[in-house]
Amino acid sequence: MKNKFFITTAIDYVNAEPHIGHALEKIQADVLARHHRALGEEVLFLTGTDENSLKNAQAAEKANVPVKEFVDKNAETFKGLKKALNLSFDDFIRTTEKRHIKGAEKLWLACKKDIYKKKYKGLYCVGCEEFYTEDELVNGLCPEHKKKPELIEEENYFFKLSKYQNRLKELIEKDKIKIIPETRKNETLSFINSGLKDICISRSKERAHGWGIPVPGDLGQIIWVWFDALANYITALGYGSDENKFNDWWVNHKNKLHVIGKGILRFHTVYWPAILLSADLPWPDKIFIHEYITIDGEKISKSLGNIIDPYQLVEKYGTEAVRYFLLREISPFKDGDFTYERFEERYNSDLAKGLGNLVSRVLSLAEKLEIKTEILKIEEVKNTDFQKKIDKAQEKYRKALKEYKFNEALISIWELISFCDQYIEKNKLWEENKEQRICILCLLYTISEITKILEPFMPETSEKILCQIGLESDEKKCVFTIKKGKPLFPRLNLR
């Protein structure tokens, strides 16, 4: 039996088209999914769209388009990122699907003992789809969207979040729900220790513009979009529709990871585990929280209007370059600014001059020596500087990925690329000598090892390199059949 690994991203609002912040999270999760598949695990990688929010309904009305037609169109644009970004997700759930609605209703009923109705007055941010207290605002504005919340007064259903304060604290302190990085764990504990208050989990049908999942047994109320949306992680696994699949992937194994942005920390580290506890269901094992891509220091966001379209970026520079830049340049644990100038500089230095040049250079040397089909015994590489550098790079790579440090994992690969370049220069491999042939074969072997650890990050590039070196291998030998192709990354003329 293979070990299982379940990984999810946040599901995205479809009130507008995707931006590169969405792309970053999907690519990060894709790397982890591909890495775990390479480890021989059975992986289920889930993403999707959050379609029942008030702001989706408002955006549709503003566009003068029926809400369903509007969300259907935008959901397809998000789903299309699979091809544009070469993502390997296994399932894409939409919260307007029957399987989700059925599961969300079941979850509400499972939590019914902790749900009650009361009149309420509060400040509501439509962007966050959440109520705020006065002291949580910054200069009277939502800290996330920089907009003034609406004052709402109505009778809604509430969830007894306060009931689970001590249990949540215990789970998080003891890393039974492991929050990464530690700073976000501390932030969550600080929020819990400040005293949890019960949360509103419905809104009137009128305020919801008639859009969303009705509360079971009360058609005048719509389930709060976050209660509904968070359920996607289990409704996609069959909660409410396929008990065997749900037990297989959620109940009976402990390798469940959520990948989310820092802006929705509270929903995933506090509200979601509390809902699961109320429903007597297992909680997620790990929650990895990444930082933001910024433009001039500001978060990229639809509401702020500073959008960069991932489709246009891919069309201009290619999928692999976009994947590389976002993973290499944007640290997972601090905000990173995006500029086209920095993108093009990184492209030329790391991809054109670095990886692309090394592959082209070694293949040209192989052609010069008329290496067309050649066998290299693995034992000939052992105890060489090549193997020592490969082992060191693999060790640093594995450690970095275990800690979700995608940029450091890539640095370990590029250190190996740099070693190969320096080796060629130091040993003047363009000049004839008795060691020249074996050295070039060792370089080809090292490049083949680079492709293995590069694959989760740049799968198409890895495949192209393997095709050009024509690798076939087993435990004892490598057979290289050289088929030099076009340059992997033609150099850009900088703006």
- How does pLDDT run across 39-91, given as a tens digit for each residue? 999 999 999 999 998 889 999 999 999 999 999 999 999 999 999 999 999 99
Catalytic residue flag (residue 125): yes
> Considering 106, 290, 302, 405, which one is annotated as catalytic?
302
Tell me the pLDDT tens digit for each residue of 354-363: 999 999 999 9
395 within 8 A of 388, measured Cβ to Cβ: no
Give 132 or 439, the one with higher predicted confidence. Answer: 439
The reported pLDDT for the residue numbered 387 is: 95
Give the chain's mean pLDDT. Answer: 93
Residue with tokens 């009360």: 218
What DSSP designation does 141 have?
B
Angle between helices 406-427 and 436-454 (to 10 degrees): 170
Catalytic residue flag (residue 299): yes
Q: Which of 29, 30, 84, 140 is nearest to 322 (CA)?
A: 84
Cα 305–chain centre separation = 22
Of 6-10, 124-128, 378-382, 433-437, give the range with the top mean pLDDT: 6-10
Asked if residue 495 has pLDDT above 70, the reply is: no
The reported pLDDT for the residue numbered 134 is: 76
The reported pLDDT for the residue numbered 131 is: 75
Catalytic residue flag (residue 142): yes
Section 455-477 average pLDDT: 94
Catalytic residue flag (residue 253): no
> Considering 55, 100, 106, 142, which one is annotated as catalytic?
142
374 within 8 A of 439, measured Cβ to Cβ: no
Q: Which two tokens stand for residue 267?
A: 């929903």
Query: Most distant CA pair in the chain: distance in Å?
Result: 87
What percentage of the chain exceeds 70 in pLDDT? 99
Class of domain 349-481: mainly alpha
4-13, 384-393, 414-423, 478-487, range with the lowest pLDDT: 478-487
Residue 410 confidence class, pLDDT cut points 50, 70, 90: very high
Tell me the pLDDT tens digit for each residue of 284-306: 999 999 999 998 888 777 666 77
> Considering 22, 256, 258, 290, which one is annotated as catalytic?
22
> Considering 55, 106, 258, 299, which one is annotated as catalytic?
299
Section 217-226 average pLDDT: 95
104 within 8 A of 231, measured Cβ to Cβ: yes
217 within 8 A of 289, measured Cβ to Cβ: no
**CB atoms near residue 115 (< 10 Å):** 18
Of 211-215, 368-372, 433-437, give the range with the top mean pLDDT: 211-215
Catalytic residue flag (residue 128): yes
Tell me the pLDDT tens digit for each residue of 97-156: 999 999 999 999 999 999 999 988 778 777 677 777 777 788 888 777 677 888 877 899
Residue 279 confidence class, pLDDT cut points 50, 70, 90: very high
Asked if residue 342 has pLDDT above 80, the reply is: yes
Catalytic residue flag (residue 368): no
Asked if residue 1 has pLDDT above 70, the reply is: no
The reported pLDDT for the residue numbered 253 is: 87
- Quick one: which H or E segment has residue 159? strand 150-159
> Considering 35, 36, 100, 128, which one is annotated as catalytic?
128
The reported pLDDT for the residue numbered 88 is: 98
The reported pLDDT for the residue numbered 366 is: 92
Q: Which of 346, 366, 490 is nearest to 424 (CA)?
A: 366
> Considering 19, 35, 256, 396, which one is annotated as catalytic?
19
The reported pLDDT for the residue numbered 390 is: 97
The reported pLDDT for the residue numbered 343 is: 96
The reported pLDDT for the residue numbered 144 is: 72
Asked if residue 199 has pLDDT above 90, the reply is: yes
The reported pLDDT for the residue numbered 84 is: 98
> Considering 55, 100, 125, 290, which one is annotated as catalytic?
125
The reported pLDDT for the residue numbered 148 is: 83
The reported pLDDT for the residue numbered 303 is: 65
**CB atoms near residue 168 (< 10 Å):** 24
Residue 177 confidence class, pLDDT cut points 50, 70, 90: very high
> Considering 145, 185, 258, 405, which one is annotated as catalytic?
145
